Amino acid sequence: MTQTPPGAIAPDLALIEQLAQDAIAGLPGPYRAAATQVRLRVEDFAPDEILQSLDIDDPFELTGLYEGIPLTEKSFSDQPVQPDVIWLFRRPMLDEWLDRGDVSLQDMVTHVLVHELAHHFGWSDEDIARVDPWWE
């Protein structure tokens, strides 16, 4: 196991957001433009109301969340009520990243982001695997 260098600090919210933006920029062309239309929120943990609505007691259990209506269910005649949002939760992602110990932080953020984008795009497991080779 690698040891954290003395004086090192944990990646902050801004770095997680930058890694997510880099992941979006690396998406295949057809998906990149649509992914930029989804609002990205990076927080340390999911807000209490989200955890309660999902019946999650431990905030470390949720690394990301898609809020919105998947593109496969939208109609041009629908009036948007609120923008689609992908939430990324820094502390749970960092914990999972450290526990795994075998992937880069970029890979971890990309994996969580792609999983949430899959909800937005209505992707199958096969679709996800084409975009995220780490998909299990």
Domain with residue 57: its CATH number is 3.30.2010.20
- What's the pTM? 0.84
Per-residue pLDDT of the chain (136 residues; tens, 9 = 90+): 455 566 667 899 999 999 999 999 998 888 888 888 899 999 999 999 999 999 999 999 999 999 987 777 766 666 667 788 999 999 999 999 999 988 899 999 999 999 999 888 887 778 777 777 765 5
In a domain, 5, yes or no: no
Domain membership of residue 4 (yes or no) is: no
- How many independent structural domains does the chain possess? 1
Range of the domain at 54: 13-72+82-131
The pairs formed by 98-107 with CB atoms below 8 angstroms and a separation of 24 or more are 101/1, 101/2, 103/134, 105/11, 105/19, 106/19, 106/22, 106/23, 107/134
